[in-house]
Amino acid sequence: MESFVVEGGRRLTGTIRVDGAKNAALPILAACVLTEDDVLLRDMPQITDVSRMVDILRMLGCRVEASGHDMTISTRGMNRCEMPDGLSKQIRSSIFMLGPILSRFRRATVTYPGGCEIGMRPIDLHLSGLRALGVQVREEGGVIHCDGGGMHAGEVHLDYPSVGATENVMMAAATLPGTTIIHNAAREPEIADLAAFMNCCGARVSGAGSAAIAIEGVGCLHGAEYTPMPDRIVAGTLLCAAAITGGEVRLSNAPVADMTAVNAKLREMGCRVAETADEIRLTAPERLTAFSVLQTQPHPGFPTDMQAQMLALLTTARGTGVVVENVFENRFTHAGEMNRMGARILCSGRTAVVHGVPQLNGAQVTARDLRGGAALVLAGLRAAGETQVDNATLIDRGYERIERQLSALGAQIRRIHTGDM
């Protein structure tokens, strides 16, 4: 098992560039299945969720060649439309291979991706969306068989603006004659990025980023060269690393326009946040001030993927802050670990109340999910003494060598191997 060891108490300062977004790169990799031409993707994050997605594409017969942060994908040799069971359990986002495979082969077999640490992660909205396009869905012992022989354009109404379900339907509709409309679509920026990629390949998607998306079916899609948008959650996490240490950090290549909710909360806590088109400079006070309430919501509300990081900031802020997690049902696993460092967090259902304390103390803590793990590293940056965060590989799912990024800003953090578990 791998862990991070963090020596707290150092102010983070400096400049760092934001890499490509995990939650844009993953659906875009799936969308490569929509064309038989080569696709060149640049600035792809070197994180394990992307590696898992590449493994899935290769298992389906695609060729993927990576060179640094660039990746060439050729799906010409794709010869399977059944998702490999083991892999689809390893990564939740394999479920949005469903739409592209159906669009290409008019049939697909996937297994339930299963729940994870933050919740059950059902896929009912994905399946109801595809059924509205005429897909016959048969579920048998955890395996989902989809027959798209009678697929057609149509009107899809999502009961909840699910990011993945919106993406699946967008991709499934790409080559269906006629126009498909998605109502109550998710509005996350990564959806607009996926649409931009698809349109670069010749699709006709409009309205992405709004609650109503129209997909006009085209005959076929062609290859493209594309750079996914920068990662707003990694960017927000790096800003929080500066905020919790009373530091000053400048981010380049930042998706500024997509970070208004996060930057507003950081200002509310006493940080100075200056923005240009693609840069953010944050200057933090020695001690933050708690905001009164934070509610996570679908975009453009406060992003659930930044909730754990903000909870970490509250632990040593002046005053008391309340955080309500409206998107996932079990996303406070990091709170108990922070309390072991001396934090005072009371959780009840979807609500956490945090009484700020003057000081956290280093401890051995365990990451239970990707963003909670990153938040424990942030807490360690502030804590007195040494903090060991176990399960580093969970954090590697969404952060490219986080220890290198934070060390570049002056943090004292290293990766260790803590025996085989």
* Contact indicator for 196, 267 with CB cutoff of 8 Å: no
CB of 100 to ligand EPZ, least distance (A): 15
**For ligand EPZ, which is the closer residue by CB, 164 or 217?**
164
Give the residue ranges of DSSP H helices in 249-298: 260-268
DSSP 207: -
Backbone angles phi, psi at 394, to 5 degrees: -65, -35
Give the residue at shortest CB distance from ligand EPZ. 164
Is 81 tagged catalytic?
no
For residue 206, give the 3-state DSSP assignment: strand
**For ligand EPZ, which is the closer residue by CB, 26 or 310?**
26
**For ligand EPZ, which is the closer residue by CB, 127 or 317?**
127
CB of 141 to ligand EPZ, least distance (A): 19
* Contact indicator for 243, 12 with CB cutoff of 8 Å: no
**For ligand EPZ, which is the closer residue by CB, 122 or 177?**
122
Sign of the CA dihedral running 21, 23, 26, 28: negative
CB of 239 to ligand EPZ, least distance (A): 17
CB of 170 to ligand EPZ, least distance (A): 12
Site residues, ligand EPZ (CB under 6 A): 22-23, 26, 93, 119, 121-126, 160, 162-165, 186, 188, 304-305, 327-328, 370-371, 398
**Catalytic residue selected from 62, 81, 116, 220:** 116
Sign of the CA dihedral running 403, 404, 410, 413: positive
CB of 340 to ligand EPZ, least distance (A): 23
DSSP one-letter string for 185-199: ----HHHHHHHHHHH
**For ligand EPZ, which is the closer residue by CB, 126 or 265?**
126
Active site residues: 116
